Amino acid sequence: MFKALLLTKTEVPAPQVAITELDEAQLPAGDVLVQVSHSTLNYKDALAITGKAPVVRSWPMVPGIDFAGAVLESSDPRYRPGDAVLLNGWGVGESHWGGLAQKVRVKADWLLPLPAGLTAAQAMAIGTAGYTAMLCVMALQRNGLLPAQGPVLVTGANGGVGSIAIALLARLGFEVHASTGRLAEAEHLKALGATDIIDRATLNTPGKPLQKERWAGAVDSVGSHTLANVCAGIRYGGVVAACGLAQGMDFPSTVAPFILRGVTLAGVDSVMAPHARRAEAWQRLARELPAELLPRNTETIALADAAGVAARLLAGQVRGRVVVDVMA
Ligand code: NDP
């Protein structure tokens, strides 16, 4: 038997949330059984746990779109008992039981070996949010962005994606500007590597289709008017990596930045990203993200705390990343 956070459908959108003892035999089919040591709370997990958006696609569900741990059993030759592994996405925690549990059974194709140099706890302090931040950085670089071209804006700066994106871009030599609703966290954002802190209120209401050219690039996890204003303020030939919708799923923009300034809007998805790109992202995270920044950006909680912290996360009250120590 092992413990899991189990979501059960109810008459209202919010599911019943309970720490439940499960039997291995109840786990879904898969090639690899993993003893999870750490998982995390991502924005999507918080939506699933609170029922604020229809993230869960089959019931009952163990949420948790990522985890790290050690292989217990494997019928796939790529993994052997004891191997350290991690997983992000692939519908885990949405349509297949996920990482907010002490054991999971998944397809071998979905796993990655834990990169050398990272512990399971560090990998989850990065988590899906940090891996997505790296996918955004890779998208900016694939589109030719170099530090000499000018500053890069990161929106949702105190969130999981934003905070790791700041640290990665600063490490690569970019001048990083951070947009936040929590100006009181300016010192934290500067410690991560931001040099200029912008009040998000200046970006999250309707603006002109073309504005002063301010940034060479941007990582946006906010969407809606913020993404529209960011695109309108990108310098000629610049690039925006868009991955999130913390303000909204809408994109009330015009084509002006794209057809008059040659701005590129690069979409970033972490869930179905191909295996090779994931492997590259995690190798780069292990090499390039300054590990000493992780503790100051991470709160560690127990499985039993996940429901309460999910509500705080959606209320914008969590700074950085939340690691769940599932054995605590
Ligand atoms: P967090 O909740 O950790 O951070 C989101 C941040 O966005 C908040 O901390 C806040 O930053 C800012 N924010 C929240 N509400 C608003 C608002 N109304 N207007 C403007 N800014 C707001 O979430 P994550 O960083 O983990 O995820 C961010 C987004 O990225 C989510 O929408 C998530 O679904 C998406 N995502 C997408 C992935 C993909 O594969 N495409 C993968 C991972 C995440 P501050 O307080 O600094 O203003």
Ligand 1 close to Cβ of residue 188 (< 6 A): no
Residues 6+ positions from 74 with CB-CB distance below 8 Å:
31, 32, 33, 80, 81, 83, 108
- Specify the ligand 1 atom closest to the Cα of 46: 2
Q: What is the pLDDT of residue 303?
A: 96
Fold of 2-114+297-325: Quinone Oxidoreductase; Chain A, domain 1 (3.90.180)
Is beta strand 84-88 parallel, antiparallel or unpaired with respect to 66-74? antiparallel
| 0.95 exceeded by pTM | yes
Ligand 1 close to Cβ of residue 297 (< 6 A): no
Q: How many angstroms does the Cα of residue 219 sit away from the middle of ligand 1?
A: 11
Q: Which helix (H) or strand (E) holds 226?
A: helix 224-232
**Residues 209/225, Cβ–Cβ less than 8 Å:** no
Please name which of 301, 315, 285, 323 lies closest in space to residue 164, comparing C-alpha atoms.
285
Topology agreement, domain 2-114+297-325 and domain 127-267: no
Ligand 1 close to Cβ of residue 128 (< 6 A): yes
Q: How many angstroms does the Cα of residue 129 sit away from the middle of ligand 1?
A: 9
Ligand 1 close to Cβ of residue 156 (< 6 A): yes
DSSP class of residue 78 equals T
What does the domain layout of the chain look like in residue ranges? 2-114+297-325, 127-267
**Residues 263/240, Cβ–Cβ less than 8 Å:** yes
E strands of the chain, at which residues?
2-8, 16-22, 32-40, 66-74, 84-88, 103-106, 112-113, 152-154, 176-180, 194-199, 215-220, 234-242, 264-267, 298-302, 321-325
- Specify the ligand 1 atom closest to the Cα of 47: 34
Ligand 1 close to Cβ of residue 313 (< 6 A): yes
Q: What is the pLDDT of residue 284?
A: 98
| CA-proximal residue: ligand 1, atom 44 (nearest) | 129
Integer Cα distance of 4 and 304 in angstroms:
9
Query: What parts of the chain have a pLDDT lower than 50?
Result: none
**Residues 160/320, Cβ–Cβ less than 8 Å:** yes
Q: What is the pLDDT of residue 74?
A: 98
Integer Cα distance of 5 and 219 in angstroms:
32
Ligand 1 close to Cβ of residue 65 (< 6 A): no
- Chain centroid offset of residue 84 CA: 21
Q: Per-residue pLDDT tens for 24-60? A: 999 999 999 999 999 999 999 999 999 999 999 999 9
Q: What is the pLDDT of residue 250?
A: 98
Integer Cα distance of 59 and 57 in angstroms:
7
Fold of 127-267: Rossmann fold (3.40.50)
Q: What is the pLDDT of residue 166?
A: 98
Please name which of 45, 128, 132, 117 lies closest in space to residue 86, comparing C-alpha atoms.
128
| CA-proximal residue: ligand 1, atom 36 (nearest) | 244
Integer Cα distance of 215 and 26 in angstroms:
51
Ligand 1 close to Cβ of residue 219 (< 6 A): no
Q: What is the pLDDT of residue 194?
A: 98
Ligand 1 close to Cβ of residue 122 (< 6 A): no
Q: What is the pLDDT of residue 239?
A: 98
Ligand 1 close to Cβ of residue 88 (< 6 A): no
At residue 186, the 3 state secondary structure works out as helix
Q: What is the pLDDT of residue 178?
A: 98
Integer Cα distance of 155 and 221 in angstroms:
6
